[in-house]
Amino acid sequence: MTIQRREFLQAIGSATLAGSLITYGSSAAAASSGVPAFGFADDRVPMNAANLCPMLSSVSDAHARYAHELDLDLSSANRRRIEAMKEAARSKIAGLLGTSADELAIVRNTSEANNVIVSGLPLAAGDEVVLWDQNHPSNSTSWDVRAARSGIEIRRFSVPTDTGSIDEVVDLFVNAVSDKTKVVSFTHISNITGFRTPVTEICAALRKRKDDVFIHVDGAQTWGAVDINLGQVDCDSFSGSAHKWFMGPREVGLLYVRERHIDDIWPLTVSIPWVVAEDPPQGARKFDAFSQRDDAALASLGDAAAFHEAMTPAGIEKQSAMIANRLRAGLLDLELPFVSTANPLFTSSVIILKAPGENAPRVVNQVFDDSGIITAPVNGFRMSPHVYNTADHVDRVLAAISKSRGLLAQG
């Protein structure tokens, strides 16, 4: 199903789009707006949130401050003070995600969170794991490695990006499940097409099809971008990275495990916290018992969470979607072929144009030279704007793409 610019704008509401972008662009520059500054220069503007976001300036400053405070005083009391901020951050994030702190592990990134599930689930030879074929390698190749070791069976299925309805997508997921399926693991928003799966409807339908199936959702492109309530999504585990849309510290990630499954899943690492704390550590903390870490980064996670509390997940999703929709509408005007869908049921802030493989890096470089906007050559030419991007950034990248359109695939 092809959606043209007119139908797309009718679906999202063009008046709201334009007005809100102007308001956001103005307020982002104002110190009193409540939207914090970011450190990037105007000729080095990131539009690659699907890979790496700039940290909020408040987070960068907090990270440096906590590290300095530790260097000045490594006493047990000061270390415990800094380490306690990790628990405060865990509680804030639990509130943002609609779950309990005991169900959250603060790991190092989405890949590690995914691998806790892959390696830790109790599966036997012949058990079936069903995967969406757009999963990230840490939620795909990792399962193949597990299969080679333990004899589990892997089955993959596809969802066409031109799918027209939520029911069609849900049916594809449900039909992929057999009576011997033990796990369904899929990505909420694909990093290779930008397709946004209807996660709530999928989980409910899978549970109805087979109530004991374990459902893992990779939320690398979700956490910090989408207002998701894990208390209302009937998945069993969920993963995310703070360095992407959450705009938080690097090498910090998230693993949610529903309480009823925590005891059944084996941790990847067992270290000091298993000795000095309860045996094992309380709840999902057993999955983040890594011994010494960058405590300043973990502490600054709370500063990132405070920003999300202030803007609210719904407010951040709205702003991010508005800037992405402005970009998508402008690209539709250029009439270039999309990898991503333009169906508002499945769109996200990850937008990809078709580009011959050898040309994609050239487009990225030329667009950067002409606009100062940082994009990525992922499955074509990928742009993933977030709340720190403005209408001016979008207009600059559109002008640069128009200039480089000869390198992109033609319709």
Looking up residue 363, the CATH number of its domain turns out to be: 3.90.1150.10
* 17 token code pair: 């789009």
In sequence order, the 6+-apart residues with CB closer than 8 A to the CB of 239 are 110, 113, 114, 117, 139, 216, 217, 218, 219, 220, 253, 254, 255, 256
Match 């790991």 to its residue by tokens: 107
Same domain, 203 and 241: yes
Nearest CA among 367, 397, 399, 363 for reference residue 379: 363
Match 């036997």 to its residue by tokens: 124
Same domain, 297 and 350: no
Domain boundary among 267, 283, 309: 309
Same domain, 289 and 355: no
Containing structural domain, residue 9: 5-35+312-407
Euclidean distance between CA atoms 31 and 204, whole angstroms: 43
pLDDT score, position 274: 82
- In-domain check, residue 282: yes
Domain boundary among 309, 337, 359: 309
- In-domain check, residue 359: yes
pLDDT score, position 28: 39
Same domain, 17 and 147: no
In this structure, are residues 190 and 158 in contact, taking their beta carbons and an 8 Å threshold? no
- In-domain check, residue 51: no
Domain boundary among 243, 277, 309: 309
Would you put residue 53 in left (φ > 0), alpha (ψ -120 to 50) or beta?
beta
Strands 381-383 and 45-46: unpaired
What backbone phi and psi angles, to 5 degrees, belong to 288?
A: -120, 30
Same domain, 219 and 363: no
- In-domain check, residue 269: yes
- In-domain check, residue 250: yes
What backbone phi and psi angles, to 5 degrees, belong to 26?
A: -75, -45
- In-domain check, residue 14: yes
Q: How many residues does the chain have?
A: 411
In this structure, are residues 213 and 206 in contact, taking their beta carbons and an 8 Å threshold? yes
334, amino acid identity: L
pLDDT score, position 24: 33
13, amino acid identity: G
Euclidean distance between CA atoms 141 and 84, whole angstroms: 36
End-to-end Cα spacing for the chain: 15
Mean pLDDT per 10-residue segment, the chain (411 residues): 53 44 35 61 96 96 96 96 96 98 98 98 97 97 97 97 94 97 98 97 97 98 97 97 98 97 95 74 94 95 96 96 97 95 96 94 97 97 97 97 89 55
10 Å CB burial of residue 105 (0-12, 13-18, 19+) is buried
What backbone phi and psi angles, to 5 degrees, belong to 167?
A: -60, -40
Would you put residue 379 in left (φ > 0), alpha (ψ -120 to 50) or beta?
left
Same domain, 297 and 316: no
Three-class SS of residue 71? helix
Same domain, 281 and 355: no
Euclidean distance between CA atoms 298 and 99, whole angstroms: 19
**Domains contained in the chain, number:** 2
- CATH number of the domain enclosing 253: 3.40.640.10
- In-domain check, residue 49: no
10 Å CB burial of residue 330 (0-12, 13-18, 19+) is middle
Nearest CA among 326, 369, 334, 374 for reference residue 353: 334
Same domain, 288 and 152: yes
Same domain, 130 and 258: yes
pLDDT score, position 10: 54
- In-domain check, residue 50: no
pLDDT score, position 4: 58
Same domain, 350 and 286: no
Same domain, 276 and 331: no
Same domain, 199 and 216: yes
pLDDT score, position 357: 83
Q: Which residues of 256-271 are buried (b: 16+ CB within 10 A; e: fewer)?
A: bbbeebbeebebbeee
